[in-house]
Amino acid sequence: MMSKAVKWLLIANIAVYVVGYVINVSGLFGLHYVLSPEFLPWQPITYMFVHSYRDIWHIVLNMFALWMFGRTIEPTLGTKRFIIYYFVCGLAGALAWELGQLLGLINPYSICVGASGAVYGILLAFGVLYPNERIFIFPIPIPFKAKWLIIGYVFIELASALFVSDLTAHTAHLAGMLAGFILLMFWKKTAMRQRQHFDNQGKWHTTSTRPNMEVNYNKNEHSADWNYNTQRKADADEIDRILDKIRRDGYGSLSESEKQRLFDASKK
Whole-angstrom CA distances from 3 to 6, 9, 53, 91, 110 are 6, 10, 27, 22, 34
Distances in whole angstroms, Cα of residue 139 to Cα of each of 135, 147, 205: 12, 19, 54
Each as own residue / partner, the long-range contacts of residues 214-219 (CB below 8 Å, 24 or more positions apart, any chain) are none
* Count of Cβ atoms closer than 10 Å to residue 145 Cβ: 15
Average pLDDT of 147-171?
Answer: 74
214 pLDDT more than 60: no
Give the separation between CA 154 and CA 150, rounded to whole angstroms.
6
Tens of pLDDT, residues 29-46: 999 999 999 999 999 999
The answer to whether residue 204 scores a pLDDT higher than 50 is no
> Cα separations (Å) of 126 from 17, 76, 131, 161, 215?
26, 10, 7, 23, 37
Quote the CA–CA distance of 134 and 7 in Å, as a whole number: 24
Domain residue limits, the chain = 4-189, 197-266
What integer pLDDT is reported at residue 222 of this predicted model? Answer: 44
Q: Give the CATH H-level superfamily of domain 4-189.
A: Rhomboid-like (1.20.1540.10)
pLDDT at 194: 67
Tell me what pLDDT residue 147 has: 84
pLDDT band at 170 (very low <50, low <70, confident <90, very high): confident
Tell me if 253 sits within 8 A of 245, measured CB to CB: yes
Read off the pLDDT of residues 93-125 as tens digits, 9 standing for 90 and up. Answer: 999 999 988 988 888 888 999 999 999 999 999
Average pLDDT, the chain: 80
pLDDT at residue 196, as a whole number: 62
Contact 128, 184 (CB under 8 A): yes
Of the candidates 69, 52, 71, 41, the residue with the CA atom closest to the CA atom of residue 13: 52
pTM of the complete model beyond 0.75: no
